[in-house]
Structure formats: structure tokens, C-alpha cells
Structure 1
Amino acid sequence: MTTPPSTSLPASRLSVFRVLLLPGWLDSDAAHWQSRWERLHGDHRVTQDDWQWPKRGDWMARLEDVLLQDDTPAVLVAHSLGCQLVAAWAAHSRHTARVAAALLVAPPDVEREDMPPQLAPWRPIVRARLPFPSTAVVSRDDPYCAPERAAEMAVQWGCELVSVGDRGHLNGESGLGDWPEGRALLDALLART
């Protein structure tokens, strides 16, 4: 497990990629760092037809469609259920070469008994190793995933694991603002590609 980096690559390095934001269940609200990144950096949000009752196959198909629209290498920046989307899509797609890297933030443990019934289609968790460089960013007090389970998923997916301490679900309620530390983690990940 590593700690977050404090430096950032030049913007030109990131500009050669298409940054696709993959929100979790119910989408990311205006205070969420993903929404802020969309406004600040021009990242592209992958929208889903049904945020309330997410179906794994439908979400995978939508991600595939977006990736096939442009030949520019993509970087996936996922939050919560979006992390499970990356794992499920990568295990089934023939187009994983279109993805240069993935930043997976706050992956939820959808196999827990107390998860909402809307997330049942996401069981079991896809545990295959990701075919591209990836970093999993976790919080020690995430209400949707115990640190041990987050670490287990990161190992199975082949991710570098970064703990950011006690920051909740790393969402709009976590007080991250524009989350420059997250952008630095993205830059560090891209430096490995």
C-alpha cells in the first residue's frame, strides 16, 4: 500500500488521453469530485440509462459503446459501483486495449448482506485481473466496504492500493472539493503506462 503522491504531471501528459468518469449507483451529485473534474478538466461522464436500478450488462454495454466512439486511448476514473463496472467490463470485452489505465475509487462490497436490493445484479463480484495498469483508492472508514475487503479486491484486480485514511466513501459528503490529491494519483498512474 502506498501513500498519495504530492506532485502532478504536466497537463499535456494527461491531454493525450480521453478521461472517462464512471459514477456509481445514483450518479455523482454536483458536490462530488467527479462532477467537479468534469467542469474543471473537461472529463467525460459516461451516463447510464438507469441510475436507480443498475443492471450490470446494461452498464457494461454503455461503457463499451462510449469506448468504441473514439480511437483516443481512454483512462477510466471510476467511483463506487463504477469500480465494479470496470472489473465486469474488462473481464468480458474484446476492446480492453482501448483503455490505458483505470483509477478505481472507493469500490463497494456489493456482496455484503446489507447492500440495497438494487445492487443484487452486481453479485458476484468479478475478480479477474485487470489487463491495464490500475490504482485502487480506499478509505479506512468507507461505510460500503471494509478495508480488508477493499484490499482483497485490489489484489485480485492487480491494482496498486492507496489508502487515504478516514475519508468516508470518497464522495461529495467526504469534503474533498476538487480533490487535487486524486488528480495527482491519476497523474502518477498515467506515468506508469
Structure 2
Amino acid sequence: MKLLTLRLTQNMHARSSLLALALCVGATSGEGALGIFEDHADIGATRRAGSAEYHAATQAYTVSGGGENMWFTNDAFHFVWKRVSGDVTLAADISFPTAGGNAHRKACLLIRQSLEPESAYADAVVHGDGLTSLQYRETRNARTYEIQSGVSGPKRLRIEKRGKYVSMSIAAEGEPLH
């Protein structure tokens, strides 16, 4: 499996930033303007429009967003996505552009049922303060739950769906995912 690189930029006019890459299959059949992804969009009511860029030479994505959160029963964030079905895996190196900033900003790898703000989902997420979690909403309009990792600020994330189970793997920079 190829490891993607996700570089994040923060919209300085937003109280927090939330950015996501959609889950896609490990093997890809070519790259377009957004690499392996189909499109990108703001989900829910965001304060500022987000953006996404793919850098083919480095196979890296730069994603910027001005959404409020993915939590409770409704979400607002910028999403780079590709439609998939069945068992899927996505892994990425993740970095914020600067240290500090909003402790609650998030970067996540995400499996989402739809592009609606209240959609069911599961994500592997790293917060600006290093908090790392597997978050999920089991059904549309339901509450979001969280399983926190004991590891703070990993540089690598992986989310994997096998059947009806979703798992998260993490690692330090240059280390294998576990």
C-alpha cells in the first residue's frame, strides 16, 4: 500500500479547522487533478470555503478548511473524497503547517456514508494538541462517540474497514503502522 502525505493549512479566520481525506481502496487506477480522489467539498455550514491541492511530484495533498467540527449529530468541515464500497484502507503521513494554533483543529482519515452533514461515519483523527482518536457516528443524526488512543501526536495514521469493523493504526514518523 502506498502511503499518502497530507499537509494541512489552517484558515486563520475560523475558530477551528477540520480537514478530512475520504477513504479509498489501497490500489489506485490512476491519478487526476486530485490524485486518487474524485472531488472535494465543504460539508455542512462552514465559516470559510476550504480548498484542496494535489502535488503530483511529491504525491502530497494540501488541504485547508474553515469548518467548526465533526461531533455531536452534525458536521462542518472540508472533505477530499472518493466513492468506494466494500473493504477499504487509507493511510497517510499527517502534519499541521505550524505548531500551536487551535488545540481542537483536526486532521482525519474518514469513512463516511454520504456527503450530508449528519451522515454516519468513522474516522481516525489527530487534533492540534496531539489527541488521537477513533471517532464514529453509528447512524444518521446520531451522537458521535470517541475511543482515545494513549499515543499523542502520531505522524502516520491508517483507517481500515473490514466487513462491519473499523480500526485505526498509528505510528511515529518513519515507523511502521501498528
TM-score, with structure 2 as normaliser: 0.31
From the two aligned structures, give the one with the greater helix fraction. Answer: 1
From the two aligned structures, give the one with the greater strand fraction. Answer: 2
Structure possessing the higher relative contact order (Cα contacts under 8 Å, 6 or more residues apart): 1
